[in-house]
């Protein structure tokens, strides 16, 4: 298996290099056979990488501890699903997975676009294969998952305990595939730059691919937050840890891209900016992958330092030099076709949106990389923690929410301000009302303002849905439900986008509340004793010792009462996995009472059963996860294939009239 | 029976040590997440909210990315106790923070102080935003003359129809 | 659109060029930082384990005095009692592999420089069970005095953020410097003392 795997990788590397040559030469000399051969090389690379990955998984399943990678991450007593999941539990395996996603999606893109975007494809293919060549080089030369141990140990060390959690089964694959999928839009963007075909074909080609990568990355971040909330035990879900920040960066820039690309599609503006965002997104993906493995930033996700740092940095420099170089070279051909006409236009709205997203990305980037330079220039180790980000990003988020409320109401080119005001009057009234009530009731004014803005934005979004539905009902004579459904289906780009907006707003509800109104108390209790936190009483029942095949578990049982009423029992766990006894992991005891999460952390305990418990009351956090579900629904809507008949029914005159807009 | 008597993995000879070594070499996620100290299970005295708050402003020096409040390492526990003692002795929050800064450097603070070169950190994002605003403003000022066409407020259903057509066109794949 | 084609394209390109240069300078700095950054620690049972050594000098800093119980159960150990000697203060833990590597070297140093006005004092920290520390002393036949810091006050007072960490105290009680990570040889330790200007009398 090891030889099969490493052989497949070497072959893939050779084919990838060949494919670059074939594509470039074929495009230059116009030899269709050579081009085809180049595409086939990509299919073959994807296939070979898949073979390598399967070989790795099979090695895990067969407990083949000759492989250093397998011995280092699995053991015989681990449950099957963790044995399988272990393949991405380390650097080599996760790079292999990265490569598989990039090559697989790349091959798929080549196949799907084989007819429509012929002129771009050779260069898209060459770019894709260049990225793959780099990854395969790393996988074969410096960081091979198929390296053999000189001596075969009878059992492996087992998977890092933090990865032995359901959340971790899903978080890395989504995050990594999000990173990796940005390769496809990047390849198309580079192809557009190389060929100089900077019209709208490449844009059409990449919008969905970017959307896919963006959705995967977003989902990965969300699952990561969920995991952190349930496992890390600081009562929160987002710690502004460098590794989290670095994953957030490409998500921020791609969100900006997905918005501003609409402006280019509709109005032919912002071409340079869009390409720059695309380049930045890909570069940040590489940067994120690189820096967490370079050991330069300290993080909760302290990855072992490895030698591939230099490789990634060199690659990143190449990507940026070529990318920026091409962009500069093509600049004259990227002039806007139109000019912006009014500050109160949809275009301008998107511009502000991009300003905010970019500013946010910059702030996060600045805070994350600053410690690097602090150490370099001032020889001082500093750490930039949550207070910095909350202070800097918080206000930007608030303005963004406000823009989310107004943006959808802006018309292209110019907005009639009176109409706009009329459209916002009810949501704005609701928002202001909530804000005033909040100012009176809440101890924190910022929370009242944030809620006012959120309610305003939710109001506008729902109003848009409602009016769209009513219009359909009137015109198509459908009942309300059918109308709403058809609205989403036929107009999926617009209303799918609004669904995502709604998801973000629901999350905002939870984020604001848990930041503003979290309660925390620490108790040292003997079994049977109790403590109170806010309206809740926690009764500590005692500890229980359990044992599984690969771990010893300590569980603290706590009854929760709201006032006098029993509201549930939670168990807060500590796991001690074999070989990792010094790195116990945990799972929090969390129960939802009304809209509050009561969150119990087992810190320490003594032989007589006395335990230190930390208890948090996190209000409305549940809305973050509900928002996550809506986010998934929204992205599914965005991907929903357009009903074709709609196009067929287009009267010629209308089609002609709209092509200008 | 709560005493977890695990054999320290470093004392294991032979293959355990070997696998441990291999694992060290390869380990990507040698996460340390603070929960250190298996049977260091001394339950600590409860901390006052103020102590917890101060602990939350300090980085645990032996862990990465976790605050003294959240870390379960021995050192963090000792630091929490010390914070509580100092509070009980009447020291102020700033004095306590200063005590740790003197010993562990400014890196021990979760929120970098606003002083010296660290102003760069704090003003960097603001500068970025200002540059962004200026660029957007320049872009907007360059806008052309408003077109002479009259912009008629579009009825929603028309808009919807047009968008549907456009959407269908844009997404034809 | 413009009269001077070349100047206009330059003007169009200039901002992007500037951005490009800024980005590349950034990459260069990161590369430089990467070159300089040495990974110095891993994580162990009780905290950080320093694996690579670096010397930090202190100026004008008095070594905090302490009185700590003897790990072997003897009389309490007090730093001030060693005034007039160079004190090598070694913070260690039994579960830390580099500390194990270092122990024979420190023992050898203590043996060779027994009469030269240098003393080593070990301070055991962050143990789950202090008997582990005692077993460590027996295993390596550590000859020099060893204290243990149950509440971690001295550890915090010295700003220890990992093991092993070695502090150097001058005969008049000043804190000269600290070395994070294991000492690799007796010669290196002597070299460190020399660097700090407190050479032990050679044997």
What are the extents of the domains in chain A?
1-164, 398-511, 519-622
**pLDDT top residue among B136 and A201:** B136
| H helix and E strand count, chain B | 6, 0
Residue B134's pLDDT band (boundaries 50, 70, 90)?
Answer: very high
Question: Following DSSP, what letter does each residue of C10-59 receive, concatenated?
Answer: HHHHHHHHHHHHHHHHHHHHHHHHHHH----EEE-SSSEEE-S-EEEE--
H or E stretch at A340? none
Contact A413, A342 (CB under 8 A): yes
pLDDT at A305: 57
A66 part of contact set with chain B, CB < 8 Å: no
* Residue A615 scores a pLDDT above 80: yes
**What residue ranges define each of the domains in chain B, with the CATH number in brackets?**
43-136 (1.10.8.640)
| Partner-chain contact B61 C161, CB within 8 Å | yes
**pLDDT top residue among C44 and B8:** C44
Q: Looking at residues A599-612, what average pLDDT do you find?
A: 87
Residue A304's pLDDT band (boundaries 50, 70, 90)?
Answer: low
Distance (Å) from the alpha carbon of B94 to chain A's nearest alpha carbon: 17
Q: Looking at residues A98-127, what average pLDDT do you find?
A: 92
Question: Between A and C, how many residue pairs show a Cβ–Cβ distance under 8 A?
Answer: 66
What DSSP designation does C173 have? Answer: S
**HSE-CB of A85 using CA atoms within 13 angstroms:** 22
Task: State how far the alpha carbon of A636 is from the alpha carbons of A211, A376, A493, A500, A527, in Å.
Answer: 10, 45, 10, 10, 49
The helix-helix angle for A2-29 and A121-137 (nearest 10°) equals 150
Report chain B residues whose CB lies below 8 A from the CB of C126: 37, 73-75
| Partner-chain contact B10 C97, CB within 8 Å | yes
Tell me how far apart the alpha carbons of residues A231 and A449 are, in angstroms, rounded to a whole number: 32
Mutation target among B13, B16, B36 for the C interface, most CBs of C within 10 A? B36
pLDDT at A24: 93
* Residue C5 scores a pLDDT above 70: no
C135 part of contact set with chain B, CB < 8 Å: no
> What are the tens digits of pLDDT across the range A458-513?
999 999 999 889 888 888 888 888 888 888 888 888 899 999 999 999 999 999 99
Residue A420: name the closest of A509, A496, A514, A348 by CA.
Answer: A348
Report chain C residues whose CB lies below 8 A from the CB of B103: 156-159
| Partner-chain contact B28 A491, CB within 8 Å | no
Nearest CA in chain A to C95: A582
Contact C92, C122 (CB under 8 A): yes
pLDDT at C46: 56
Partner residue opposite A331 with nearest CB, options C13, C30, C34:
C13
Distance (Å) from the alpha carbon of A53 to chain B's nearest alpha carbon: 18
Distance (Å) from the alpha carbon of B89 to chain A's nearest alpha carbon: 21
Instruction: CATH number for A519-622: choose from 2.60.40, 2.60.98, 3.30.450, 2.40.50.
Output: 2.60.98
| Partner-chain contact B75 C152, CB within 8 Å | yes
Residue B158's pLDDT band (boundaries 50, 70, 90)?
Answer: low
- Provide the ipTM: 0.84
Write phi, then psi, for C198 (nearest 5 degrees).
-130, 75
Task: State how far the alpha carbon of A615 is from the alpha carbons of A213, A510, B33, C132, in Å.
Answer: 37, 18, 19, 33
Tell me how far apart the alpha carbons of residues B129 and A246 are, in angstroms, rounded to a whole number: 19
Contact C18, A294 (CB under 8 A): no
> What are the tens digits of pLDDT across the range C55-101?
888 888 888 999 999 998 888 999 999 988 899 999 999 888 889 88
Q: What ranges in chain C are assigned the alpha helix state H?
A: 5-36, 97-112, 130-140, 153-158, 186-195
Nearest CA in chain A to C33: A376
> What are the tens digits of pLDDT across the range A146-176?
988 888 888 888 887 877 888 788 888 899 9
> What are the tens digits of pLDDT across the range A548-583?
888 889 999 999 999 889 999 999 998 888 877 777
Task: State how far the alpha carbon of B4 is from the alpha carbons of B53, B127, C53, C136, in Å.
Answer: 31, 54, 33, 20
Report chain C residues whose CB lies below 8 A from the CB of A378: none
A309 part of contact set with chain C, CB < 8 Å: yes
**Residues sharing a CB contact under 8 Å with residue A471, sequence separation 6 or more, in sequence order:** B156, B157, B160
Report chain C residues whose CB lies below 8 A from the CB of A276: 16, 19
Partner residue opposite B143 with nearest CB, options A303, A340, A647:
A340
Question: Following DSSP, what letter does each residue of A218-262 receive, concatenated?
Answer: HHHHHHHHHHHHHHT-SS-S----HHHHHHHHHHHHHHHHHHHHH
Sequence length of chain B is 173
**Chain A contacts in chain B segment 81-140 (CB below 8 A):** 105-112, 117-118, 120-122, 124-125, 128-129, 132-133, 136, 139-140
Partner residue opposite B75 with nearest CB, options C47, C97, C132:
C47
Distance (Å) from the alpha carbon of A18 to chain B's nearest alpha carbon: 30
The residues with which A547 forms a beta bridge, in sequence order, are: A552
Contact B109, B101 (CB under 8 A): yes
Partner residue opposite A376 with nearest CB, options C16, C23, C33:
C33
The residues with which A337 forms a beta bridge, in sequence order, are: none
| Partner-chain contact C155 B75, CB within 8 Å | yes
pLDDT at A550: 82
Tell me how far apart the alpha carbons of residues B120 and A370 are, in angstroms, rounded to a whole number: 9
> What are the tens digits of pLDDT across the range B2-61?
333 232 333 333 333 333 333 333 333 333 332 333 333 344 567 888 888 899 899 888
What are the extents of the domains in chain C?
2-42, 48-195
Residue C202: name the closest of C190, C188, C192 by CA.
Answer: C190
A362 part of contact set with chain B, CB < 8 Å: yes
* Residue B149 scores a pLDDT above 80: no
Tell me how far apart the alpha carbons of residues C186 and C181 are, in angstroms, rounded to a whole number: 14
- The token duo for A286 is 């590489």
Class of domain C48-195: alpha beta
Partner residue opposite A387 with nearest CB, options B26, B77, B110:
B110
Distance (Å) from the alpha carbon of C99 to chain A's nearest alpha carbon: 17
């Amino acid at each position: 298996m090891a030889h099969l795997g490493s052989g497949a990788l070497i072959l893939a590397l050779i084919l990838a290099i060949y494919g670059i040559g074939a594509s470039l030469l074929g495009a230059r000399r116009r030899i269709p056979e050579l081009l085809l051969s180049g595409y086939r090389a990509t299919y073959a690379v994807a296939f070979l990488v898949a073979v390598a990955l399967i070989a790795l998984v099979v090695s895990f399943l067969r407990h083949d501890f000759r492989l250093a990678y397998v011995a280092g991450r699995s053991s015989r007593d681990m449950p099957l699903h963790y044995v399988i999941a272990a393949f991405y539990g380390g650097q080599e395996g996760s790079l292999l997975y990265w490569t598989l996603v990039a090559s697989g999606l790349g091959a798929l893109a080549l196949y799907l676009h084989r007819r429509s975007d012929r002129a771009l494809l050779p260069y898209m293919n060459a770019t894709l294969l260049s990225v793959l060549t780099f990854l395969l080089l790393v996988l074969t030369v410096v960081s091979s998952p198929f390296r053999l141990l000189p001596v075969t140990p009878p059992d492996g060390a087992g998977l890092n305990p933090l990865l032995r959690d359901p959340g971790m089964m899903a978080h890395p694959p989504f995050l990594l595939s999000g990173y990796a999928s940005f390769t496809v839009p990047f390849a198309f963007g580079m192809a557009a730059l190389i060929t100089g075909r900077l019209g709208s074909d490449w844009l059409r080609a990449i919008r969905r691919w970017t959307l896919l990568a963006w959705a995967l990355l977003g989902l990965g971040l969300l699952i990561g937050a969920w995991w952190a909330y349930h496992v890390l035990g600081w009562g929160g879900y987002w710690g502004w840890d460098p590794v989290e920040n670095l994953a957030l960066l490409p998500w921020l820039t791609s969100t900006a891209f997905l918005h501003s690309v609409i402006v280019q599609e509709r109005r032919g503006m912002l071409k340079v900016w869009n390409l720059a965002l695309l380049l930045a997104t890909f570069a940040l993906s590489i940067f994120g992958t690189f820096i967490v493995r370079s050991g330069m930033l300290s993080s909760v996700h302290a990855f072992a330092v490895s030698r591939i740092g230099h490789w990634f940095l060199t690659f990143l420099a190449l990507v940026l030099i070529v990318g920026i170089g091409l962009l500069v070279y093509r600049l004259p051909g990227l002039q806007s076709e139109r000019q912006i006409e009014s500050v109160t236009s949809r275009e301008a709205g998107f511009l502000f949106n991009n300003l905010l997203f970019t500013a946010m990305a910059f702030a996060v980037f600045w805070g994350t990389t600053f410690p690097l330079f602090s150490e370099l220039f001032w020889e001082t180790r500093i750490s930039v923690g949550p207070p910095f980000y909350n202070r800097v990003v918080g206000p930007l988020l608030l303005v963004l929410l406000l823009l989310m409320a107004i943006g959808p109401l802006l018309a292209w080119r110019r907005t009639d301000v009176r109409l706009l005001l009329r459209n916002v009057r009810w949501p704005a009234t609701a928002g202001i009302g909530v804000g005033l009530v909040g100012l009176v009731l809440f101890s924190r004014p910022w929370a009242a303002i944030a809620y006012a803005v959120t309610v305003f934005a939710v109001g506008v979004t729902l109003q848009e849905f409602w009016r769209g539905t009513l219009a359909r009902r009137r015109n198509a004579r459908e009942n309300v439900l059918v109308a709403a459904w058809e609205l989403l289906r036929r107009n999926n780009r617009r209303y799918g986008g609004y669904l995502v907006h709604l998801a973000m707003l629901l999350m905002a509800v939870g984020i604001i509340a848990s930041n503003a109104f979290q309660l925390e108390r620490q108790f040292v209790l003997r079994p049977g004793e109790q403590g109170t936190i806010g309206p809740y009483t926690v009764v500590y029942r005692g500890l229980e010792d359990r044992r599984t095949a690969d771990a010893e578990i300590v569980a603290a049982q706590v009854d929760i009462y709201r006032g006098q009423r029993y509201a549930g029992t939670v168990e807060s766990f500590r796991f001690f996995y074999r070989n990792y006894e010094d790195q116990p992991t945990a799972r929090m005891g969390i129960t939802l009472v009304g809209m509050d999460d009561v969150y119990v952390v087992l810190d320490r305990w003594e032989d007589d059963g006395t335990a230190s418990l930390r208890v948090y009351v996190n209000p409305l956090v549940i809305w973050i996860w509900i928002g996550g579900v809506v986010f998934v629904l929204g992205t599914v809507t965005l991907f929903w294939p357009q009903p074709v008949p709609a196009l067929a029914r287009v009267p010629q005159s209308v089609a002609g009239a709209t092509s200008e807009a | 029976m709560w005493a977890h008597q695990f054999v320290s993995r470093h004392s294991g000879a032979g293959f355990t040590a070997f696998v441990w070594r291999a694992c060290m070499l390869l380990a990507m996620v040698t996460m340390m997440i603070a929960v250190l100290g298996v049977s260091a299970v001394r339950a600590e005295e409860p901390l006052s909210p103020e102590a917890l708050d101060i602990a939350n402003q300090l980085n645990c020096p032996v862990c990465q990315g976790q605050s003294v409040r959240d870390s379960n390492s021995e050192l963090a526990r000792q630091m929490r106790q010390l914070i509580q003692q100092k509070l009980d002795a009447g020291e102020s929050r700033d004095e306590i923070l200063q005590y740790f800064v003197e010993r562990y450097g400014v890196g021990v603070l979760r929120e970098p102080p606003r002083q010296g070169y660290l102003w760069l950190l704090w003003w960097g994002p603001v500068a970025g935003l200002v540059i962004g605003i200026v660029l957007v403003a320049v872009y907007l000022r360059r806008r052309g003359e408003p077109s002479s066409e009259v912009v008629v407020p579009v009825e929603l259903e028309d808009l919807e129809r047009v968008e549907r057509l456009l959407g269908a066109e844009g997404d034809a794949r | 659109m413009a009269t001077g084609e070349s100047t206009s394209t330059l003007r169009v390109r200039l901002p992007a060029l500037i951005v490009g240069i800024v980005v590349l300078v950034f990459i260069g700095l990161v590369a430089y930082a990467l070159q300089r950054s040495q990974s110095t620690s891993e994580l162990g049972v009780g905290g950080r384990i320093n694996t690579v050594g670096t010397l930090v000098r202190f100026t004008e800093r008095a070594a905090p005095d302490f009185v700590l119980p003897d790990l072997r159960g003897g009389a309490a150990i007090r730093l001030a009692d060693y005034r007039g000697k160079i004190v090598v203060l070694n913070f260690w833990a039994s579960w830390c592999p580099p500390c194990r590597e270092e122990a024979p070297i420190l023992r050898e140093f203590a043996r060779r420089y027994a009469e030269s006005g240098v003393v080593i004092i070990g301070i055991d920290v962050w143990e789950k069970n202090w008997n582990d520390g005692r077993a460590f002393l027996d295993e390596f036949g550590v000859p020099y005095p060893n204290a243990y810091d149950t509440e971690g006050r001295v550890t915090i007072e010295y700003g220890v953020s990992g093991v092993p960490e070695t502090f150097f105290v001058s005969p008049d009680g000043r804190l000269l410097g600290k070395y994070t990570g294991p000492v690799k040889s007796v010669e290196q330790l002597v070299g460190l003392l020399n660097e700090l200007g407190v050479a032990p009398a050679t044997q």
